[in-house]
Chains A and B, each alone.
Chain A
Amino acid sequence: MTRSARWIVFWLGAGGVGTLIVLALLRMPSFGGLVHPYRDLAVPAAVGRSSPNIVSSINFDQRALDTLGEETILLGSVVGAATLLRPSKDEQELLDRDEGRVLEATKLLGYLLLPVTLIVGADVVFHGHLTPGGGFQGGVVLATAVHLLYVAGSYRLLRRLRPKSWYQVAEAVAAGAFVVLGLVGLLLTGAFLANVFPHGVLGDLFSAGTVFFLNAAVGAEVTSGVVVLLSAFLAQALSVREVS
Chain B
Amino acid sequence: MTPLLVVAFLLVAAGATVVVLTREPGRQAVTLSVYGVLLTLLFVLLQAPDVALSQVAVGSAVVPLMVLLAVRKVRGGKR
Contacts and interface: CB of A to CB of B under 8 A. Distances in A.
Interface of B is mostly: helix
Interface stretch (A4-12, A177-185, A193-201, A234-242): A234-242
A141 interface: yes
Contacts of A124: 53
A209 interface: no
Contacts of B61: 140, 144
A33 B8 CA distance: 19
B42 to A, nearest CB: 13
Given A132-B49, A233-B69, A144 B62 contact: yes
Contact of A234 (B54, B57, B69): B69
Interface string A183-227: 000000000000000000000000000000000000000000010
A237 B49 contact: no
Contacts, number: 49
B10 interface: no
B66 interface: yes
A237 B62 contact: no
Interface size class of B (residues with CB under 8 A): 10 to 19
Contacts of A55: 50
Interface of A is mostly: helix
Contacts of A236: 69, 73
Contact of B50 (A31, A96, A133, A241): A133
Nearest to A139: B57
Contact of A237 (B50, B52, B69): B69
20 contacts: A55-B50, A124-B53, A132-B49, A133-B49, A134-B50, A136-B54, A137-B50, A140-B54, A140-B57, A140-B61, A141-B57, A143-B62, A144-B57, A144-B62, A226-B62, A229-B66, A233-B65, A233-B69, A237-B69, A237-B73
The 10 closest A-B pairs by CB, nearest first: A132-B49, A140-B57, A137-B53, A237-B69, A233-B69, A55-B50, A237-B72, A237-B73, A236-B73, A132-B50
